[in-house]
Amino acid sequence: NRSKGDGDTATWLPPNKGYRCTYVAAQVAVKKKYDLWVTAAEKSAMKKVLSGCPGQKLPTGGNPTAAPPRFHAD
């Protein structure tokens, strides 16, 4: 994890090339579920990895999770 830091798909991929399709598909699923933004470079890297994984499906399951209510200090 230290080598990965807070890098995204554009800056870090697992060294195990056989796991990259699963890893990127999981990232896409999480970003979709939580409506997170993706940089242009990250999107390009995701497309590049997933283009080599024609049978890869996005993970599914779990219920949508709502963000906790905001705390308002008085």
pTM above 0.75, yes or no: no
Give residue 15's pLDDT.
92
- Distance between CA atoms of residues 21 and 2, nearest Å: 21
In a domain, 22, yes or no: yes
65, two tokens: 């999770």
In a domain, 64, yes or no: no
Three-class secondary structure of residue 59 per DSSP: coil
- Distance between CA atoms of residues 66 and 52, nearest Å: 33
In a domain, 73, yes or no: no
Three-class secondary structure of residue 49 per DSSP: helix
**Domain residue limits at 36:** 1-56
In a domain, 61, yes or no: no
Q: What is the pLDDT of residues 20-42, one digit of tens each?
A: 999 999 999 988 888 898 999 99
In a domain, 69, yes or no: no
How many domains is the chain built from?
Answer: 1
